[in-house]
Structure 1
Amino acid sequence: MLRSPWFWCTPIVAALSTAAQWIQYPSNGFATMTHYTMPANFIAACGCTTESENYPTAAMSQYAFGSSTSYGPGCGRCFNLTLLNTFLSDPPFYPTETKSLIIKVTDLCPFGGAGWCSATPSKPNPAGAYINFDLVYPSSAIPDNFFPSNASLYGYTDFGVWNTSYQTVSCTEWAGYKNAAALGSVTSLGSGACCPSNPTDNSNDTCPSFSEQNGIPPDTHTNSANRRSITCLPLLSFIAGFLMAL
């Protein structure tokens, strides 16, 4: 995603990060939903084809996604997300119409701080949810009025964060499933990408955890690359934060 990546100061930290346990979530439940903007033809963490951007896609919070970088078991999975209510607004907003959307996970929402993607197996995010779906929106694949609002009451239309319910569904229900070009991963990335058409938890059609297999990759950006600044975390600060998250 277009967020500052983790950058570890020592190999010890990288080793600790791969020892994390992932969230084992049920096939249906509750989650939060946020949204972010993805540039056209951007290749996200899973390495899915850029044609997938023409259909509803989302990033999944790190500990549910199953990897701290690149691809993980969450890649390619499809979920039916239903908007329930907002909770940061005063008063909370309960829409009078039910809005649902089937998305495909193509990206990772990194763990960090107290954000919406900060849930761990032992600690939910600030809304009490263990999963956050970060929807690619605005998007040509999603109507501009997908998120209900009441501007006359609140003075704005974008609530930012929603409570949702989710159901794991077959990707045959995803709008892009019948378009072969929207399925699979970018060929030129080879084994550096993993984006199953319809993962079922079988090892033959579900991505492994890249960070468990490879650790955290080194920072190899060139000086001329367009990137956000990265703050190197002191080792002791990281270890303290890691232990608190367990």
Structure 2
Amino acid sequence: MVPTTVPLFRFNSWIISFILFGHASAQWISYSDNGIASMTHYTLPESWVAACGCTASSDSFPTAALSQMAYGSSTAYGPACGRCFNLTLLNTFLSVPPFYPAESKSIIVKVTDLCPLSTTGWCNATTKGPNAAGHYLNFDLAYPSNSISSNFFPSNASYYGYTDFGVWNISYQSVSCSNWEGWNDAAALGSISSQGPESVCCAANPTNSSNTCTSYSDHNGIAQVFFLFFNIRRSRHI
């Protein structure tokens, strides 16, 4: 069971009537620096302190949550915290027919949050199998955001009758955070001091084992957590 002292920043945005925990050990997903993933988006309040405990100013720039088993922890910080990725939209696949934008759009994000593992959904990939899109990684973009253009996601409303496709196939590429828009803003880098060093870790530019966050779950002997949600209300677009 997760101790009550563990910061669960992200879960403040859920209303949950029942949670089922299971599985005693974690097997994190190893992934290459470049590949194909799925992308969803979620509402992150302004100046919100997400799971990594990055400074509240970080969400003044593009950020994303990463699916739990790739993130590397079931709560608080994980090895993905602070990593930066260039994400490029490829196509939608839930629409009929799939939508292929005429122009490829990319965005560089910093991982500041955890997208919790569940029995269904786009962040449910484990080493035993991918999500419904066939991918082992899902990036959950913090959007809408003042840092991202309101027309970042292409659409064709006249054909489909709606503008938000919800889920995209994307390509991802690990990049230096010196390419991230928030790199030159000191207030956007690092962890919030008020939470203490034991509960937060948001590396400015993680590149190797010496400057990459460890797994809070592994470090504190917290069992891997699988979530089964009922009667959920949340502002995720799927």
Q: Same fold (TM over 0.5)?
A: yes
Larger Cα Rg: Structure 1 or Structure 2? 1
Matched, 1:150 2:156: yes
More helix by share: 1
Q: 1:163-185 CA distances to partner (integer Å, 9 max, x unpaired)?
A: 00000001011010111100001
Aligned residue identity for 1:52? S
Q: 1:13-61 CA distances to partner (integer Å, 9 max, x unpaired)?
A: 5xx44x2110100010000000000112211000000111110000000
SS in 1 for 2:146: coil
Alignment partner of 1:194 out of 196, 201, 212: 201
**Residue 212 of structure 1 corresponds to which residue in structure 2?**
218
Instruction: Please tell me the root mean square deviation across aligned C-alpha atoms, in Å.
Output: 1.8
8 Å CA contact 2:73, 2:215 repeated in 1: yes
Q: TM-score, normalised by structure 1?
A: 0.82
Matched, 1:138 2:144: yes
**Misfit runs of 4+, over 2 Å:** 1-9
Taking only the aligned residue pairs, the percentage that are identical comes to 61
Q: TM-score, normalised by structure 2?
A: 0.85
Unaligned runs of 5+ in 1: 218-229, 232-246
SS in 2 for 1:47: coil
Aligned-partner Cα distance in 2 for 1:4–1:105: 24
Unaligned runs of 5+ in 2: 1-9, 224-228, 231-238
Aligned-partner Cα distance in 2 for 1:88–1:215: 39
Cα deviation for residue 7 of structure 1 reads 5.2
Structure number with the bigger relative contact order (C-alpha 8 A, sep ≥ 6) is 2
Aligned-partner Cα distance in 2 for 1:131–1:93: 21
**Residue 127 of structure 2 corresponds to which residue in structure 1?**
121
Aligned-partner Cα distance in 1 for 2:15–2:34: 30
